[in-house]
Amino acid sequence: MTRWLDRRSVPLLLGLLAGLLAVAAGLLAGGDAAERAGLAARWTARAGLPLFLAAFLASTLVRRWPGPATRAVLRRRRQWGLGFALAHTIHLVALGINIIVYAPGRTWQSLIGGGLAYTILYLMALTSTDGWQRRLGKWWRRLHRFGIYYIWFIFTASYAGRAFGDDPDKRIVGIAFGSIMIAALALRLWPQRSSTNRR
């Protein structure tokens, strides 16, 4: 398992596979073209979430549960982020088709918020190299820290909107995934006990 997690290609392949499988599932499950497009857009967003959480929690997992598997995830954190970017690019295509062809009329707030999230995501992906880290210096860390929290916020706000909506099915999804996002943030921010306290 650890050797598998430590391969550079694994997160990228998982991102591609997750996105394509979500599209295929949406196309098979929908009753008509509009429903299929909507399901593909929704399910591709959820498919990339585990890869985002792997990048979001990589250092936290090592601090709290140090071991070969968590260290492997941390070593490949950039690849997990790139895998998420790949999966979410598939989501962007599916979402674009759904909005343009079947469900126009999105609010300007959602378009600006989502558009900024994608801009930051691609800036993070393009600068995910040692060379760019050296060139940007302290700004590299600021970009990636702000970016990962902003993407967390967009995910959480989206699920919160569903959790407090009128549709019972969407409400269940919003509560479930919103709870996962809040738990992930709490785990990341929860103060680590000192070695003295642990003893």
Residues 162-172: tens digit of each pLDDT? 898 888 888 99
Residues 139-148: tens digit of each pLDDT? 999 999 999 9
pLDDT at 155: 95
Residues 74-125: tens digit of each pLDDT? 999 999 999 999 999 999 999 999 888 887 766 667 778 889 999 999 999 9
pTM for this prediction: 0.89
List all residues 6 or more positions away from 87 whose beta carbon is below 8 Å from its beta carbon.
Answer: 14, 15, 16, 18, 19, 44, 47, 48, 51
pLDDT confidence tier of residue 193, bands split at 50, 70 and 90: low
